[in-house]
Structures are given as structure tokens and as C-alpha cells.
Amino acid sequence: MPRRRLRLLAAIGTLALLAGSALAGPRPKPAPSAPAPSGSASAAGKDPKADPPAPGKPAPQGRAQGRGRPRGKPKPPPPAPCSPRWSPYIPHSYRVAVESWHKPVTVPARTDARGRPYLTLEILNTAERIDLEPQTETGRFSATDLDRLAHALRDTRRGNEHPIDPSLVDLVYDIQTHFGVNALRVISGYRTALGGGHSNHGRGRAMDMIVPGVTEDEVAKYVRSRGFVGVGVYPSSGFIHVDVRPASYYWIDRSGPGQRNCERSTLGSEARSNDALAAAAGRKPPRPWAAPTQNVESVWRERRPVRELEAEPHEEIVEEDDLDSERE
């Protein structure tokens, strides 16, 4: 083919290409490339890196250091002592002891010639056992027995003794006979009053005790019904407080052994109602009583005529300290 003809064909092809480009419009610009995903290599060829942390978040410390980090919400602070959510710490050894104290006493109580059971107390702090012979169906124990009881319920920490109010002894005997148990277990009786305290324990008018085989709630319900009493339930420590006083007062204390008190009063209207019912039934509130000597025999002689005149009216004297609900 002649060279001139070849040049002509090449020119025609070039014109055809230019005409096609003009009809197709401008070539679209290439789309920008998407950012490399976390951990992938960038377009510039740099080493892969993790994405930067969001503002305000600490940078990750690596797998080895991150294993110990807490997950989820931070742990809330423990509830304050005596608050509704608070649960006192009770040592396992004490729990075992409380369980054993509540087991029924299998040794039968002694009885008198009329078949009346003796008041039988097991003193847990000294491992002593004492039997008191009742003079009537409701108690009324002899001066000799009250003297023995004052020694049994002594303050073992300081070696002090104090006369025990006969009204309290009769109440405790009533508890034993009502529930039909062979003996009662005593946690604490007399405690020396320190620093001007007004606890009924320091007056010989209170006892911390256990009725074996009976729950504290059952005991509390019955004792409240007697009127003119103080009743404190200690569910964590596993005992019940009973005392005699001119106006009833009830409370619950969830503190454990050796812990500060968490006393909360309860059933105030029921306390007033029970006192009214007791008075209507002829029961009298305890009279103010302070032993003139440490000899219970002389105290009993002075109080026996008063106790035998329960049916006679008397002026009620309410001591302000008797309304104190102090535990110790």
C-alpha cells in the first residue's frame, strides 16, 4: 500500500477518536478512596495502627494490662451500720453457740410436793444451774432463794452482786411455765451501771435470756401481753431482753455481739394497750425499788408486805429512768 494512503487512514482514525470523546462528555473524576479500617494498612504504606480512642476515654493499655480492669459499673459502697440494707457480721463460732443454746433442755425440771415446777435457770457465762422453789402458782420465791439468785446473776466481769427485783423473778417464772420448758438459759442478769447509766440491768430488773425450743418472736409476743414490761428482740445476737417497768416499751436491735446498738422502737400503741389491759386484769406495775443493803434477806422482809397487798390501790410513780431503753 502506498505510504500516502497509510497516512490518510491514520488521520481518519484520529479524527474518529476525537469525535467520540466529544460526544461522551467529560471523563468523571475518580472517587476518593475510603479510609483504611482499624488495624489495616493505610494507602501511604505506613504500619497499621489502632484508631485513636474517643475523647475522654483512656487509651487501651494492651492485653496484658487490660485483664485486671473492672468491668461494668463500679461497686457501690457497703451500707452504713444499722441502715435497712446493713447485715451485721456474726462469727461462725457464735452462730454455732446460738444454735446450741436454743436446743431444748432434756433434763426435766424439779417439782415441789404439789407438782409445781421449780424455776430453773442455766447461766451460760458461768455454766451454773440454779433451781428455785415457788411458794405459789405464780412464783413468790423465798428470801433465801432470792439471795442465791442474786449471786447466780452477778456481774461476772466485775464481781458485783445486786438484789434481783421479785417482780422480774415472777415474770421469768411465768415465761417458763407458760411455754412448758424444763429450764431457761440466761445470757446476762445484773450488770454494774457505769457512767450514770440507767439500764434496768443495773437495777436488777432485767434479764437477757433464751427460751430453748421457742423463737424470740414467740417469746416476745407473750411477754408483751403481760403488760408493764420492756421487751427487746435481738435477732442477730439470738436472745430476748425482758424487764419490768411502769410503762411498757418494745424494741428490736439487729446488732451482733460486741457491736454498737441499733435499737429501733416498735409497737408503741400496742405497748399502751397492753398496759391498759393488764391494769384492767388487776396486774400492777412494779413499784420504785432501791435495795437499802446488799442483803436480799432484809430487802425481802421489807417488800413482802407490799407484795401481799397487790389488791390495794397505790399511787403510781413513774421513774423517768425506767422509760430508758438503753441496752447496756
Determine the pLDDT at residue 193: 86
Cβ pair 83, 255 in contact under 8 A: no
Look up residue 258 and give its DSSP letter: T
- Measured CA to CA, the distance from residue 215 to residue 240 in angstroms comes to 9
In the chain the first and final C-alpha atoms are separated, in Å, by: 131
The set of cell numbers assigned to 20 is 467520540
- Among candidate residues 227, 327, 319, the one with its CA nearest the CA of residue 271: 227
Cβ pair 310, 161 in contact under 8 A: no
Determine the pLDDT at residue 84: 86
* Each residue's pLDDT expressed in tens, for the chain with a length of 328 residues: 566 666 666 666 666 565 555 555 555 565 555 554 444 444 444 444 444 445 555 555 555 555 666 677 888 888 888 988 899 999 999 999 999 999 999 999 999 999 999 999 999 999 999 999 999 999 999 999 999 999 999 999 999 999 999 999 999 999 999 999 999 999 999 999 887 677 899 999 999 999 999 999 999 999 999 999 999 999 999 999 999 999 999 999 999 998 999 999 999 999 999 999 999 999 999 987 555 454 555 554 555 444 443 333 333 333 333 334 344 4
Q: Is the pTM of this model over 0.85?
A: no
Helix (H, G, I), strand (E, B) or coil at 69: coil
Look up residue 95 and give its DSSP letter: H
Q: Report the DSSP pairing between strands 249-253 and 263-265.
A: antiparallel
- Measured CA to CA, the distance from residue 253 to residue 236 in angstroms comes to 8
Determine the pLDDT at residue 309: 38
For residue 5, the Cα-to-chain-centroid distance in whole angstroms is 115
Determine the pLDDT at residue 308: 40
Cβ pair 156, 127 in contact under 8 A: no
The set of cell numbers assigned to 195 is 457512767
**DSSP characters over 173-233:** HHHHHHHT-S-EEEEE------TT---GGGGT-EEEEE-TTS-HHHHHHHHHHHSSEEEEE
Cβ pair 104, 212 in contact under 8 A: yes
Helix (H, G, I), strand (E, B) or coil at 130: strand
- Measured CA to CA, the distance from residue 170 to residue 242 in angstroms comes to 12
Cβ pair 177, 145 in contact under 8 A: no
Q: How far from 102 is each of 91, 176, 233, CA to CA, in Å?
A: 17, 14, 15
Determine the pLDDT at residue 3: 62
- Measured CA to CA, the distance from residue 249 to residue 120 in angstroms comes to 27
Determine the pLDDT at residue 198: 78
Question: Which DSSP helix (H) or strand (E) runs through 249?
Answer: strand 249-253
- Among candidate residues 197, 261, 265, the one with its CA nearest the CA of residue 231: 265
The set of cell numbers assigned to 299 is 430487802
Determine the pLDDT at residue 319: 34
- Measured CA to CA, the distance from residue 278 to residue 17 in angstroms comes to 122
